Amino acid sequence: MTRLTPEPRVVGSSKWNPGRVARIVVMSVIAAAFLLPIIGFIALAFGSQENIEAGRSGFLGLAGMSWDNIVYSWNQITGFGPGNGGLFQQWMLNSVIVAVGGAALALIAAVPAGYAFARLRFRFRKTFLMATLLAMVMPNTVLVIPIFLEVSAVNAVGQLWPVAVIMGFFPFGVYLSYIHFMTTMPHELVEAARIDGLSEIRTFFLIGLPISKQAIALVAFFSFVANWTNFFLPLALLTSSQQNKTISIGIQELIGASPLFNATVAAGLDVKLYLPQLALATVISMIPLLVMFIGAQRFLVRGQTIGAVKG
Amino acid sequence: MTNQLLEDRSATGPTAGASRAADGGTPPKKRRRASWLHRDETVGAWILLAPYTILFLVAAAIPIGYAFVISMQKAPTLVNPKSGFGGFDSFATVIGDYRFWSTFVNIFTLMAIWLPIMIIGIVALALLIHASPGRFGGAMRFIYYIPGALGGIANFVLWVYLIDPVNSPIAFLWQGIGASTYKEVITPGNMPFILTAMLFFQGVGTWIVVVNGGLNGISDEVMEAARLDGANAWQLAWHVKLPLIRPWVGYAALMNLAYGFQLFLEPYLLRQISSGSVVAEWAPTQLGYAFAFTNRNFPAAAALSIILLVITLAIGLVIVTRSGLFGDDRVPRIKKKDRTA
Amino acid sequence: MKTRRFLSAGVALAAASLLLAGCAGGGDSSTASNQTDSGGKITVWVDPPRVPAAEAFKEAYPDIPIDIVQIDGTVGGQTVRQAFANFDSAGQGWPDAIFFPSNDDIAWATNSTSNYAADLTDLLPDVVKGYDPAVISFCDIDGQIRCLRNDAAPDVFWYNKAFFDEKGYTVPTTWEEYADLSVKIAQENPGKISGFLGDAYAVNRYLQAAGCPTNDRVSESEAHINMDDPNCQRATDLLDTMQAGNALSTQGIFDGDAAEAGANLVMSPGAVWWGNYLFRDTWKIPAGQMTAVAPLKWEGDSKPSTGNEGGGLWGVSSHITGKQLENTLTFATFVATDPRWQVDLSTGLPGYGPVQEDWLAKIAGDAYFADIPTTQAAFKSALGDVQPYSYMLYDTGSVWTQTVPSTLIGGGSATDAIKAFGDELVNQAKSVGYTIVTE
């Protein structure tokens, strides 16, 4: 599906030549290959198992969509759990708690740390920065088992707070705010503050912090997204407590209770979780990300200024 | 997978516009300062760094140290519940385990298929987008990025829908290989291909944006000069753009390589939806999980974590020191791959 | 060089964290000696099909405060094991009673490192006495009764009576006849199948029934596994014949997409609970078709010989005492013996003897099976024909699901598949720490 290069022979020309047409066709076909599954998936969330089995859903399931299906599927998802269900909402709430808590910690830690790395001189600065970069490019899954052992040593497995604390460690956020202060806060400003007799801490709070809205928004956004989608860490730390699961591992439990994959377990359930229900649960679980994305969009689009200033 | 800015990152390339003055705490010219002032600065720095330092210790340094300590212990296994100091026995247990090499063979097989496709896909699509300035290019970049916005488990559920051999929009593919059940699609032989498709779909958009950022950093003069020399689009892409974005491509390759070693969610859940027909320990991380929770051999689990840590740390060191993207005097905006398992 | 400085700092950091870790990682092994008492409140873990049992208890004993947690019921799933690994290392957090999702779970739950499951021999002597020794034998670990069986799950021989009557086939009585007939049926009625190989219980259905030593506990650290045993050979030959004759499905009975294959099942050994649970509730096969007869014999044997598929186990925590223990025992007694669950709600034949007759009588009322008296008799007689089988720390069922179906789908023969199964089984048993003996 991938072509090494576009065909065009002439560049900069707005004429419709074969090369340009080929490029646009190739790119559009690939775009369709990316987009159609997602459209079909969202349509699936609006669909019903009966229609799908009967083949009545039409192209990509678009013909089988209805609001009634959503209501039915919502009742199935929220009915999951002992008693009257409600686990799904609990899991969403837990995810909000750890993702927001983790993002808040990440902010508290990352913004001042980025400032210190960017504008202060101290021993081990480079070493610590290097370790931060390494931690940033290292996939965090490799540390999960050691983290589990650590949390287990303090008897906190199954609780939400250790998950939020671990998520608060967000070296990418430090790097982001490091770049931010590097590019937006001239040294002269720091020097001037020093001459005025401001302490380093006050300089940060009075001068650095007010100009870091951009960095704060970016760190908060990226950290929230990373926390929300994290799977292995909650899996290792929260599996033993059904009430304390996050939505990412909760959806895994829903998959495990689906008649599609575990017919006999599902036969013992009041709720029936077929693909439309799983798709709806997934789509709902993405809504907070969407909200964050819309909220942070202004800053994301302006993010280029961080890089551009120093050019 | 969404840790990526969506905007143009113009003039942030390592090859262009790299700022000289961007070096860390040391301003361009040396300054003489009273030592008490300097000490003030150090104290202030560490106070500002305190929250981060604590988190760094709790979430990285202590777990690594603790894992090292545990890996040196003798495993109180379910069958022989005696503990004590075991030296490097756990490492021997891990490497001697009959699944150890097969998990790495699995990962390398996947890499052999996935990485080239991924890299070619990233570069080709980034070049295509760069050759399409204006609204169309921007729209395409946004569309390619969308699948990356689905986090790990969401992408997986999407693929559950796509793998469905009866109702999926690509069911004809599965029926073409003679499969009519999930189990017949998700066979050990198909695993690398399914994972390749999943990871490509999820990851390529993010990296297109990164590499595209590099392309945008190429200065207009360079492009103009090449055009004046009569280079056509193909020559421009191959001889001018590609060499200039090599650091980014290398960075993408290494980050994806490191990512491969920590694969967990996808093989773990593929086993679940194929009624257990995929081995439980397909990837090294799954083997670590099995050591910890099935065998209850925490020393072996810790030892395996350390082995994986050393591998990814080595890759990380290469990225940080050799890619040219983290050099002290040029600080382009790059991304953290992600924190999703 | 910055790299060197980084490394030296890294070593210092690691050394510091070693010290910290040393302080944190002191004593970890917890023992059952510190039993706790909540004063009465109990927490029980049940898989989704057993939630009604816990709900029925709540209704019957409104005075006992109870927390019902629904757990992942996947047979061979890892989440419960993982949770218990957490609890055992933390020394707290265990549920007071649990329905083990896999029967294999009893192996780690009674192992000396975990020691979760309490010895019920003296705690519930009357309940234990109510079980047929063959039924409770799965809970008998070194002479102690460590669990209660929810339902007895011996394999009977199921067949579709409507189909057999229509086509004029004779129901087989030996395993060899079963194999031959299955091939004949598959030839004459393409698409009709006589067995499933893709689920974890296929091990019990065929290998256990043949007396093949896959799960033979010699001692806590020794396992007897020998796939070259003639008993394994006869099972392999049987499956080879059937597989070559297209009489088997590579799907498993638990597969979500197995309903279609299930509708084409004409005969198979299968557990008692297949009747209601699979045929009626999951696959929705119409009433008046499926029916059971006594298990098959191997040619030359005088007695039938059969496997056992699950038949869930209830465990009680060894970490509790006082009122909490008392209430938990009330719970365990209720779910194991009370007709309000065992007869009125449970889909499986009760393991507890005194309520079996009532449950069997209920079958007549349901009028689902084609030949009810024969089915009832088959259910009872099969109890005594189950071959010995110990639940071990290695997961025989998972080894089966990850080797056999994939080998067969990949075009291998049943012999190849069982060879792959045996190799993997020995590897896994060694990996858990067993010494393998072949005698």
Q: Is residue C171 part of a domain?
A: yes
Sort out which chain B residues have CB atoms less than 8 A from A182's CB and list them.
22, 24, 331
Spatial strand order of the sheet with C267-271 comes to C267-271, C155-160, C290-293
Record: contact C405-B98, CB cut-off 8 A: no
Provide the CA B309 distance to its chain's centre, in angstroms. 14
CATH superfamily of B98-322: MetI-like (1.10.3720.10)
CA distance C361 to chain B (A): 35
Average pLDDT over residues C148-177: 95
Distance between CA atoms of residues A190 and B81, nearest Å: 60
Find the DSSP H helices in chain A.
18-45, 49-53, 67-78, 87-119, 125-137, 144-153, 160-168, 171-184, 187-195, 200-203, 213-229, 232-238, 247-256, 263-267, 275-302, 304-309
What ipTM was assigned to the predicted interfaces of this complex? 0.84
Record: contact C254-B275, CB cut-off 8 A: yes
Distance between CA atoms of residues C157 and A59, nearest Å: 45
Instruction: Give residue B267's pLDDT.
Output: 93
Q: Which amino acid is at B94?
A: V
At A88-132, the pLDDT tens digits run 999 999 999 999 999 999 999 999 999 999 988 888 898 999 899
Total domains, chain C: 2
Which of A133-147, C181-195, C203-217, C421-435 comes out lowest in average pLDDT?
Answer: A133-147
In degrees, rounded to 5, the angle at the alpha carbon of residue B321 between the alpha carbons of residues B317 and B327 is: 140
Record: contact B336-A171, CB cut-off 8 A: yes
CATH number at residue C139: 3.40.190.10
Better-scored residue on pLDDT, C231 or B330: C231
For chain B, list the contacting chains (3+ Cβ pairs, <8 Å): A, C
Distance between CA atoms of residues A256 and C99, nearest Å: 17
Per-position pLDDT tens, chain B of length 341: 333 333 333 333 333 333 333 344 444 444 444 455 577 888 889 999 999 999 999 999 999 998 888 888 887 655 666 667 777 888 998 998 989 999 999 999 999 999 999 999 999 999 998 888 788 888 888 888 888 777 788 999 999 999 988 888 888 888 888 888 888 889 888 999 999 999 999 888 888 888 887 888 788 888 888 888 888 888 888 888 888 888 888 888 888 888 888 888 899 889 888 888 888 899 999 999 888 888 888 889 889 989 999 998 898 888 888 766 665 434 444 443 333 33
CA distance A47 to chain C (A): 19
Q: Sign of torsion, CA C201 C203 C205 C208?
A: negative
Residues C275 and C328 occupy one common structural domain: no
Residues C116 and C213 occupy one common structural domain: no
Average pLDDT over residues A62-69: 85
Provide the CA C62 distance to its chain's centre, in angstroms. 31
- Quote the tokens at residue C105: 């779970």
Residues within 8 A of B (CB atoms), A 95-154 only: 105, 108-110, 112-113, 115-123, 125-126, 128-150, 153
Cβ within 8 Å of residue A302, ≥6 positions away:
A214, B7
Q: Which amino acid is at A113?
A: A
Residues C334 and C385 occupy one common structural domain: no
The answer to whether residue B280 neighbours chain C at the CB level (below 8 Å) is yes
Phi, psi of C148, deg, nearest 5: -120, 140
Phi, psi of A146, deg, nearest 5: -55, -40
What torsion, rounded to 10 degrees, do the Cα atoms A273, A277, A278, A283 define? Answer: -160
At C236-249, the pLDDT tens digits run 999 999 999 999 99
- Quote the tokens at residue C225: 């596994």
Domains of chain A and CATH, by start: 18-78 (no CATH), 87-309 (1.10.3720.10)
Average pLDDT over residues A274-298: 89
For C182, C243, C274, the CA distances from C191, given in Å and listed in that order, are: 11, 13, 21
User: Using the 8-state DSSP alphabet, how is residue B120 labeled?
Assistant: H
Q: Is residue C31 part of a domain?
A: no
Residues C162 and C251 occupy one common structural domain: yes
Q: Which amino acid is at C199?
A: D
Q: Is C439 exposed, middle or buried (0-12, 13-18, 19+ CB in 10 A)?
A: exposed
Distance between CA atoms of residues A69 and A75, nearest Å: 10
Residue range of the domain that includes C318 = 42-149+312-347
User: Using the 8-state DSSP alphabet, how is residue B75 labeled?
Assistant: P
Residues within 8 A of C (CB atoms), B 102-161 only: none
Record: contact B79-C432, CB cut-off 8 A: yes
Residues C100 and C226 occupy one common structural domain: no
Q: Is residue C192 part of a domain?
A: yes
SS3 category, C69? strand
Record: contact C82-A239, CB cut-off 8 A: yes
Distance between CA atoms of residues B122 and A37, nearest Å: 20
Q: Is residue C363 part of a domain?
A: no
From the candidates B64, B79, B270, B289, which should be mutated to test the interface with C, based on the most C CB atoms within 10 A? Answer: B79
Confidence of residue A165 (pLDDT cuts 50, 70, 90): very high
Q: If you average pLDDT over each of A77-86, A156-165, B138-147, which comes out highest?
A: A156-165
Does residue C298 have a pLDDT over 80? Answer: yes
* DSSP secondary structure letters along B235-287: HIIIIIIHHHTHHHHHHHHHHHHHHHHT--HHHHHHHHHTTT-S-S--SHHHH
* Residue spans per domain, chain B: 98-322
Q: Is residue C20 part of a domain?
A: no
Residues C322 and C239 occupy one common structural domain: no
Residues C340 and C383 occupy one common structural domain: no
Q: Is residue C15 part of a domain?
A: no
Residues C320 and C253 occupy one common structural domain: no
Distance between CA atoms of residues C201 and C250, nearest Å: 13
The answer to whether residue C14 neighbours chain B at the CB level (below 8 Å) is yes
Q: Is residue C100 part of a domain?
A: yes
Taking a C-beta distance cutoff of 8 angstroms, is the pair A173, A223 a contact? yes
Residues C294 and C180 occupy one common structural domain: yes
Q: If you average pLDDT over each of A210-214, A226-230, C280-284, which comes out highest?
A: A226-230
Q: Is B86 exposed, middle or buried (0-12, 13-18, 19+ CB in 10 A)?
A: middle
CA distance B38 to chain A (A): 8
Cβ within 8 Å of residue A95, ≥6 positions away:
A228, A246, A247, A248, A285, A288
Mean pLDDT of chain C: 87
Residues C317 and C274 occupy one common structural domain: no
Instruction: Give residue C76's pLDDT.
Output: 67
For A153, B81, B100, B306, C430, the CA distances from B297, given in Å and listed in that order, are: 15, 10, 15, 14, 13
Beta bridge partners of C151: C350
Mean pLDDT of chain A: 84
Residues C244 and C297 occupy one common structural domain: yes
At A191-227, the pLDDT tens digits run 888 888 888 888 899 888 988 888 898 899 889 989 9
At C331-368, the pLDDT tens digits run 999 999 999 999 988 878 999 999 999 999 988 888 89
At C28-53, the pLDDT tens digits run 334 445 788 888 889 999 988 888 89
Distance between CA atoms of residues C134 and C214, nearest Å: 19
- pTM tops 0.80: yes
Does residue C226 have a pLDDT over 80? Answer: yes
Q: Is residue C166 part of a domain?
A: yes
Instruction: Give residue B35's pLDDT.
Output: 53
For A61, A74, A255, A284, C280, the CA distances from A71, given in Å and listed in that order, are: 17, 5, 19, 13, 29
Distance between CA atoms of residues C354 and C351, nearest Å: 9
* DSSP secondary structure letters along B176-218: HTT--SHHHHS-TTTHHHHHHHHHHHHHHHHHHHHHHHHHHTS
CA distance A90 to chain C (A): 14
Distance between CA atoms of residues A147 and A153, nearest Å: 10
B85-89 contacts: CB < 8 A, separation 24 or more?
B86/B299, B89/B299
Cβ within 8 Å of residue A88, ≥6 positions away:
A77, A78, A80, A81, A247, A250, A254, A281
Cβ-Cβ contacts under 8 Å between B and C: the total is 134
Say which of C6, C24, C70 has its CB closest to residue A242.
C70
Cβ within 8 Å of residue B106, ≥6 positions away:
B191, B192, B282, B283
Taking a C-beta distance cutoff of 8 angstroms, is the pair B234, A5 a contact? yes
Residues C263 and C192 occupy one common structural domain: yes
CA distance C157 to chain B (A): 24
SS3 category, A54? coil
Distance between CA atoms of residues A208 and A195, nearest Å: 16
Record: contact C9-A83, CB cut-off 8 A: no
Taking a C-beta distance cutoff of 8 angstroms, is the pair B229, B297 a contact? no
Instruction: Give residue B318's pLDDT.
Output: 86
Distance between CA atoms of residues C345 and C334, nearest Å: 13
Instruction: Give residue A187's pLDDT.
Output: 83
User: Using the 8-state DSSP alphabet, how is residue C349 labeled?
Assistant: P
